[in-house]
Chains A and B, each alone.
Chain A
Amino acid sequence: ELKVEQNPLFLSMQEGKNYTIYCNYSTTSDRLYWYRQDPGKSLESLFVLLSNGAVKQEGRLMASLDTKARLSTLHITAAVHDLSATYFCAVAISNQGGKLIFGQGTELSVKP
């Protein structure tokens, strides 16, 4: 059974600090997604990572993928309050089309 595990599940940060969210998965994947969800809102796509060594950056967020280690990271640089949200990684299973398996989510709170 495919498992996708995020760490940590809860993260309280001060503004200006850096931190990393980890996403481990247990089987071969075609690609990995990172989503953001604000309270009561839907999921917003942040990054799509396609291959080993892929790195993408948008503003204060940077995502990377290591398919050999089955690990993706979402790094937050100099956090600001607007980044407070829940972040999900989702893994697309090889040979199973569009099926996504989601991690539990990391609830990020950035405090002044």
Chain B
Amino acid sequence: NAGVTQTPKFQVLKTGQSMTLQCAQDMNHEYMSWYRQDPGMGLRLIHYSVGAGITDQGEVPNGYNVSRSTTEDFPLRLLSAAPSQTSVYFCASRPTSEAGELFFGEGSRLTVL
């Protein structure tokens, strides 16, 4: 009964390094998304996908890339990390037919020095 699984849970990067946050779901959900959570800012949508091969930008996409080669996986890539990307990242999914309700992973805390 895994649900949405994110790895790693914690990561420290130096400015300019690249990395990928992994997200996998086993619920056969078509819709997947990435949010970042910052103090006093709530959650802001970075990128989302409505199915394999389809991705789109959310509210704060700059500095992030995504791809969706399978229904299960939706990795988030930081090509050149910046201190402004220090945040907690959440992956979430839902069945496209189910309006709005999202199922969240436990989060990945990223620190960029």
Q: Do A and B come from one complex?
A: no
Could you list which residues of chain A lie within 8 angstroms of chain B, going by C-beta atoms? none
Chain B residues in the interface with A (C-beta under 8 A)? none
